[in-house]
Structure formats: structure tokens, C-alpha cells
Structure 1
Amino acid sequence: MGNSESSSSSSSADPRFKSACRAFTQKELEDLKSLFVSLAAKSQSDNPHYITPPVFKEYIGAGGPLGDRMFDLVTQKRKDQKLTFQDLVIAKGTYEKGTKDDIEEFIYQLLDVYGDGVVGRSDVERVLATMLNSICSENCSESRSGSEQECVDIFLNAANFKKDDSNKAESSLSFEDFRRWCALLPSVRKFLGSLLMPPDSGSQVPKLVDGESIDPNLVLMREQYAWLIGGALSHELSEWKLLYHSAVHGQSFNTFLGKMSDDGPSVLVIKDREGYIYGGYASQPWEKHGDFYGDLKSFLFQLYPKASIFRPSGANHNMQWCAVNFSSESIPNGIGFGGRVNHFGLFISANFDKGHTFECTTFGSPCLSKTNYIYPEVIECWGIVPKGAQQERSEAIRGTVLERFKEDRHMLNLVGLANSSD
């Protein structure tokens, strides 16, 4: 790495650059140099010593005000439109190798697209618009994506903007409120925290497959919703298949359970009479139990009029509920998440016509709707197959069949029939 440090006496004297270099291995520094040389070569042919804004924004996959702000921060706010190798190392040293507080502070500054030292509501709105435009496919239908401003608003509504005493017209987001906002929206934190990372070959949005002929306007799930929910999952996103929709299959508990034949994790989404949309991620299959079951991978979420994820708090292990044909009032028939019997975080009765949602210590979640008692208008459930799981499942089935064939052949050998002709 000596060549890069000696390329500029002023740069090598910068203590920030020297400190950042120490955070990387020699191999990592060499990779950073190769990256810089490649991007600089795309920027200009006569002076390959810096990266221009257009090339940098293409690399991070974020244009508009978010890309401009990232370029400004990485170049130490010099305003010379030139990103040097030292700039790249210093920025990545903070962004990738810094302490959690260092990284959070960098991302928080990233939201301040106007550069006035205040993260206002309009700043965050512009950043969200850029993010959502980036993650949604260009060929996504309007019914699947929804209006851009509506989707921006549901994410804004999860943030706690406050007005200070300076008589400013716009409310702002404090650093602590920003951290709480990121906890509710892990996909936002993941996106903003990976802009300078090597490009990920996987999609940030799962492929949504309806599976049957259904009017797209009836489907609740949107790309933005799937992106939000997917950001809280530990596995790579692949394909989500619509297994059940009340408008197609009827509001029937038995039909719902019959459609849950995939035996994998699923996403339950509900829209009620008040227009609120919410649901839960079930990490375990929906199957009959007389008590709570599941694991700490499950969570609740809100999608409209605001978006939030509520992960397990550790207060208890009352994750999933699925009771069928029980006659005791202490075991209510239906499906649900969290809380306690008859006071769930979310519950839909076996008739699929009513339910409730209460403040829930299991997930640290509030009432998910406008009122505690809910009346579903639409219920849909999406089966999730993590990347690679389908192939593993096929191989497992194939292995099972082969083993069964070997056992059968062994039995035939015992009775002398294995080599019999037809």
C-alpha cells in the first residue's frame, strides 16, 4: 500500500487517512485501490486520479439528492467534484469499520440532503423517494407498487418529527429519534448502511408470484411492503407465492389451513374495515396446537397508514397461535401472534370475520389498527421459500425416494424377486 500513500505528501500526512488505513487488511486496501482505479478510469481518460459524481452515484446505486449528499460527505464537503483515493479510504473506514455510533452518525448525516445541519422532514422525504425508486423494478405495475408519495408517507409516518424552539417552519428528526426510526424500519437502515459496500448480487425485493388468476388491484402486497418485511428476515430473499386470498378462496379457516401445504414460513397480511393494513411473519408452519408455539424469528408489522416492524422483545415466547376445533374457551379457535389468550397482539377468529389487536409485550407492539377489535375485509397469506431452500428440498425428496427404493430392493432380494422380469 506504500505506493498509494506516497502518491501525495499532503494525503499521506492526513492522520485520518493513516488511521483509516490501519482499519483494513493489506488485501482489503489493495482491493480498494483496484476499485478506485476502475471507477477513476470510467470518470476521465486524461487524469485518472479522482472519481466524478456521475460514476460514483452509479456505483452506489443511488442518484438524486441521496447520491449527491453521499458524494458530498465522502469528499469531505470540498465541493470540488473530485473524489480521491484518500477520500474513499477515510469514508469506508468510518462507514464500514467504525464503531456503531460512528456508522449511525454517518448515516444520520446522510439524511441531511440540504446540508444545513438539520435533518428535516423534507430531507427524509427526498431520501425515501430516492430509495423507493431504487428498490422498485421499472416494470412494476402501478397496482403492485402503489403511488410513490403514498409509499413515502407510510415510512415518514413511523418517524417522530419534532419542532424545536427556533421557530423553524419544518419539524426535524433528532439523532435518537432517527435510531428508533431505524429500529422500526430495518430495511431503511440496511439500505442506507450498505451504499458503499460491494454490490449485492441478490435482489432487495422478493419476486411476488400471484399463483392464480386474480385481479392485481385486490392484492394487498406491494413491492415496498415486501421490501420492508424482507429487511427483517435473516435469509436471502427469493420468491414469495400467494397461497391464500380471501377474495379468491373465501373467508374460510379450513380453506386457509388447506392452502398452507408448503410447510414453510409465511407472511399474513390483513386489511380491515378501517383501511388499516398489518400482519405478521410466521416463521413456523400454520398447524394445530393447543398453546403458543414458534420461535424468535416471528414478528408483527404495520403497513398502512404507517410502516413499522415489531420484533420479539424477549418478554415471553408467545409467538404463534393456531387452534382448530377446540371446545374450551381457554383455547380460542383461530390464528394469532403474541400477547396472551384472548388478549393477543393480533388474532383472527376461526370464522375469519373478526378478531382483535392489543398492545403486546411479546413484540413491544402497539394496537395495530385504529381500534382493538377488528373486522377483516381482506386476508392474504404469502409462502416464503428462502434462496436455495427449494433446491435443497428437491434434493431431500430425491434422497428420500432413493433410500426408499434401496430398502424396497433389499426386501425383494430377500425373497428372490429383485431381478425378476416382467
Structure 2
Amino acid sequence: MGAENSKRKDLKNISDEEYKKFMENWKKATNGKDKMTREQFVPTFPIFGEGSAQCYYRMVNDEPSGLLPSKSLLRIIDGGLGHFDTLANSLILCFGKEKDVLMRSVVKIFCEANKFTREDQVRLYDYFESENTKPIEELDHFFSTCPLFPYTASFIYQRLVERPGDSKMPTLNEKSQLMGNVDQLVLNSHLPFDRRKNWTLLYSNAKHGHSFSQLVKNINGQGPCFIVMRSMRGRRFGFFASHGFLAGPQYRGSAECFLFQLAPKIGTFSATGRTDNYVYLNYQQQQMPNGLGIGGYDNVWPFFIHETFDGGLSQKNSSAFEPCYLADEEHFQIKNIEAWRPGEKPQKTFEEMMVEAERDPERSIIDKDPEARAVMEMAGKTMHSDAYREKKPMLDEK
């Protein structure tokens, strides 16, 4: 017992139960011995896949016996479950100092363990390669700028101690026509932690009809939301609305909003903090833009969908976000569009917020913003105040 405790005391990130299970498997594979051969290692730790032998030889490089002691592998795993600096060291011990080889190995192991396709592997590697401009000596700094990579890497070490590996994939209530595995994985990694588990489809033009009014009905007051679309040219792109949508000529959201491109390549573009012009949803006003967009004003937007729902704007280098050109054309046409809510619906519904505002004349949104009332009535909600103008039909309802 004392010897076991002595081996265990240096492990900070492996639980007693994980250690016990690991050693049971180890002794079963080695017939009770403390050192493991390559022939024993490969079938015992299948997570490494085709690269098992190469990993084994790297890990025993400094071992005089040429065999792998249990304590050496446990220390590597413990480091892989630790902070960025120890994770980086564990990765180098397993996969070597060539950045390309290390990144490809991590991606391959992660994708195969999660049953991703070969195309998924290529797309995920391309994303990491575009994000990682640092040399291998600064691998831990890359982790800070691209948190998804250390998440996928630590997944390997979780599996080595049979800890339920968190793949970081969200659970969707319906299949997306616009987002594959890697798209969902990358977008999910940029969300607040409390919004990463379940995604709910709010709107799809393939399911609900190609209608701006239907889009507004389904997203208004529903909480944080992704807008994802495919243009007629095949580009896939969109944005995350951190506070969701409330119809009216005002901007909503925070610096948690971001733009993204999914095809032809994956990229995310963070808010710069230079403006508060984030999410915008408005219609039927003569002096304000009518449509849905983010990060713009008047006729200058990185992403904007017209109220007519026939197309939109995509312009370069908005001051609100990092430089990007999502559609690769200034005026795009919509082929497919989806809206997804990550996480749970807010406790207060849009209707409840409107009723509360209606009861307080000092801060009534209904009085200040007739468009908000129009959206409520369009959704079939009955309001009890007379202080509103007669609703005009929306363009796609004429």
C-alpha cells in the first residue's frame, strides 16, 4: 500500500479511481510487471491508433531498459490533463517536436475516436493550421488563442484513464442542412460554457418556408442565436447573436457576438470592441435599415439580410469585427438559411417581457417601438394596450 501511495502522490490530475483502474489494466496486460513492451502497449491503448508504435518509441527514448514503466506513462497522462504548459510537454513526448506531425496526430486520433469522416479530419486540421502561426516551442501560447486544440488534445489523455472524454460536440435536436461535425465543433468552442450542450433549431427555410416574417416569428425573444446561411455561390457563413433578437430599431448584444465562415474554409472573427453596433432586427420603417444584420449601419454591413429576403450585404473589414469578407461578394443571394439557439431558452419569454413593459408606461417598449408590437401580433399574441399604430403587412406577406 505504501509503494502504491508513493507512486500516486505525484499525480495531480488523475483521481484515485482512475489510477486504480489504470493499474489493473496495466498489470493485466503485462502479467503483473511494471514495465510494458511495444507489443503489449499497442493493443492496451488503442486510442493511439496507427501511431501507437511511434508514440511508444518516443516515450521510451530515455528509458535505459527500452521498456515503458507505468509511472512514466502516468506522468505523461497527468500532464496531459493539466494546464497548458504541462499539456504541451505531454504532447511533445507522445508525438514529437514537429508541429505538423503533432497537430495531424491529435486531429486524427480525435476524429477517429468520435467517428468523424476523412473530410472532417482535413477540415479540422486546416482550421488549426490557419490558427497556429506559433513555432512548436510556443505551443502553449497557441492553446490560449485557439482553445479548441487543447480541448481535442486533452481528450486523448482522458481516454487513456477511461475518463468519459468530452468531445465538445453539441447535441442538436434536428439535423442541420448547413453545418457538419467540424462546423458545430468550432462554433461550439466559441460559445459561453453554459450554451455548449444542446442546440435547438428555431428556423430553417427548408422546413418553415422562405419567409422573413416566419424567421422573425421564430427567433424573436428566443435568446442567444446562430444565423447560418448558404449563398447561391455556395459560401456558408453567419454570426452568433449573444443576446438574441428583439425586433426594433435598436442594436443588441455584446462583444461575445462573432462572425464566422464555414465554407470554403472555416474561420471565426471576433468583435473589436470599437462599436456597440451588434445585432439588429427591424422592419417597416422608412428612416432605418429594414432587415437582419450585425455590426453595421445604413448600407455598410459585414452581414445583413434584407427584409425582402431575396438577398443581403457582405462588405469587407467592418470596424466592429476582425477583418473578413464572409460572402466574397458584396451583394449575395440566399439559398438556405437556419437559426439555432444554443443552450436553454431564457426564463422570461418575449411575450412576458412585452407584457411587463406594457404595464409600465414609464418604460413601455410597446409605446416606444410599435414594430415590437407588430411582431407580437404577427406571432398571434394579444396585447391589451391601445397605444399602437395599425400593423402593415410584411413584404413577404403581401
* Fold shared by both chains (TM-score > 0.5): yes
Which of the numbers 38, 42, 57 marks the counterpart of 2:45? 57
User: What residue ranges of structure 1 are gaps of 5+ in the alignment?
Assistant: 8-16, 137-144, 162-171, 211-215, 398-422
Inter-partner Cα distance in structure 1 for 2:165 and 2:107? 22
| 1:356–1:372 contact (8 Å) kept in structure 2 | yes
Matched residue, 2:201? 242
SS in 2 for 1:219: coil
Q: Judging changes above 3 Å, is the alpha-carbon distance between structure 1 residues 365 and 4 closer, same or farther for their aligned structure 2 residues?
A: farther
Matched residue, 1:196? 157
Q: Judging changes above 3 Å, is the alpha-carbon distance between structure 1 residues 151 and 185 closer, same or farther for their aligned structure 2 residues?
A: farther
Which of the numbers 304, 308, 312 marks the counterpart of 1:347? 304
Matched residue, 1:11? none
| 2:106–2:153 contact (8 Å) kept in structure 1 | no
Matched residue, 1:337? 294
1:89 correspondence with 2:72: no
Per-residue deviation, residues 222-247 of structure 1 (Å, max 9, x unmatched): 23221221112222633322221122
| 1:244–1:380 contact (8 Å) kept in structure 2 | yes
Matched residue, 1:207? 171
Which of the numbers 34, 42, 47 marks the counterpart of 2:32? 47
Inter-partner Cα distance in structure 2 for 1:105 and 1:324? 54
The alignment covers a number of residue pairs equal to: 337
Matched residue, 1:174? 135
Per-residue deviation, residues 97-141 of structure 1 (Å, max 9, x unmatched): 55x45544554x37x84x4x4223x664454233223234xxxxx
Which of the numbers 22, 35, 45 marks the counterpart of 2:18? 35
Residue type of the partner of 2:340?
W
Matched residue, 2:280? 321
Per-residue deviation, residues 383-416 of structure 1 (Å, max 9, x unmatched): 2234xx79x789xx9xxxxxxxxxxxxxxxxxxx
Matched residue, 2:256? 297
SS in 1 for 2:214: helix
Q: Judging changes above 3 Å, is the alpha-carbon distance between structure 1 residues 70 and 385 closer, same or farther for their aligned structure 2 residues?
A: farther
Inter-partner Cα distance in structure 2 for 1:157 and 1:90? 27
Q: Judging changes above 3 Å, is the alpha-carbon distance between structure 1 residues 67 and 209 closer, same or farther for their aligned structure 2 residues?
A: farther
| 2:293–2:304 contact (8 Å) kept in structure 1 | yes
1:118 correspondence with 2:98: yes
Q: Judging changes above 3 Å, is the alpha-carbon distance between structure 1 residues 232 and 75 closer, same or farther for their aligned structure 2 residues?
A: farther
Q: Judging changes above 3 Å, is the alpha-carbon distance between structure 1 residues 155 and 119 closer, same or farther for their aligned structure 2 residues?
A: same
> Displacement, 1:42?
1.4
1:152 correspondence with 2:121: yes
> Displacement, 1:219?
1.0
> Displacement, 1:180?
8.3
TM-score (norm 1): 0.65
SS in 2 for 1:131: helix
Inter-partner Cα distance in structure 2 for 1:298 and 1:67? 41
Inter-partner Cα distance in structure 1 for 2:325 and 2:98? 32
| 2:225–2:341 contact (8 Å) kept in structure 1 | yes
Q: Judging changes above 3 Å, is the alpha-carbon distance between structure 1 residues 178 and 380 closer, same or farther for their aligned structure 2 residues?
A: farther
1:256 correspondence with 2:239: no
Per-residue deviation, residues 346-403 of structure 1 (Å, max 9, x unmatched): 22222222222322343324112323332221111112234xx79x789xx9xxxxxx
Matched residue, 2:234? 275
Q: Judging changes above 3 Å, is the alpha-carbon distance between structure 1 residues 186 and 38 closer, same or farther for their aligned structure 2 residues?
A: same
Q: Judging changes above 3 Å, is the alpha-carbon distance between structure 1 residues 35 and 208 closer, same or farther for their aligned structure 2 residues?
A: closer
Q: Judging changes above 3 Å, is the alpha-carbon distance between structure 1 residues 182 and 324 closer, same or farther for their aligned structure 2 residues?
A: farther
Q: Judging changes above 3 Å, is the alpha-carbon distance between structure 1 residues 135 and 316 closer, same or farther for their aligned structure 2 residues?
A: farther
| 2:230–2:337 contact (8 Å) kept in structure 1 | yes
| 1:128–1:152 contact (8 Å) kept in structure 2 | yes
Residue type of the partner of 2:222?
D
SS in 2 for 1:348: strand
Residue type of the partner of 2:168?
Q
> Displacement, 1:321?
1.6
Q: Judging changes above 3 Å, is the alpha-carbon distance between structure 1 residues 393 and 326 closer, same or farther for their aligned structure 2 residues?
A: closer
| 1:160–1:173 contact (8 Å) kept in structure 2 | no
| 1:154–1:303 contact (8 Å) kept in structure 2 | no
Inter-partner Cα distance in structure 1 for 2:179 and 2:226? 10
| 2:110–2:156 contact (8 Å) kept in structure 1 | no
Matched residue, 1:222? 180
Residue type of the partner of 1:64?
G
| 1:41–1:48 contact (8 Å) kept in structure 2 | no
User: What residue ranges of structure 2 are gaps of 5+ in the alignment?
Assistant: 353-398
Inter-partner Cα distance in structure 1 for 2:82 and 2:124? 28
Inter-partner Cα distance in structure 1 for 2:3 and 2:336? 63
Inter-partner Cα distance in structure 2 for 1:56 and 1:232? 35
| 1:348–1:355 contact (8 Å) kept in structure 2 | yes
| 1:74–1:91 contact (8 Å) kept in structure 2 | no
Residue type of the partner of 1:189?
P
Inter-partner Cα distance in structure 2 for 1:175 and 1:310? 24
Inter-partner Cα distance in structure 1 for 2:77 and 2:111? 24
Inter-partner Cα distance in structure 2 for 1:231 and 1:56? 31
> Displacement, 1:269?
0.8
Residue type of the partner of 2:173?
V
Q: Judging changes above 3 Å, is the alpha-carbon distance between structure 1 residues 97 and 179 closer, same or farther for their aligned structure 2 residues?
A: closer
Residue type of the partner of 1:192?
A
TM-score (norm 2): 0.69
1:360 correspondence with 2:318: yes
1:309 correspondence with 2:309: no
SS in 1 for 2:280: strand
Residue type of the partner of 1:37?
K
Matched residue, 2:357? none
Matched residue, 2:3? 3
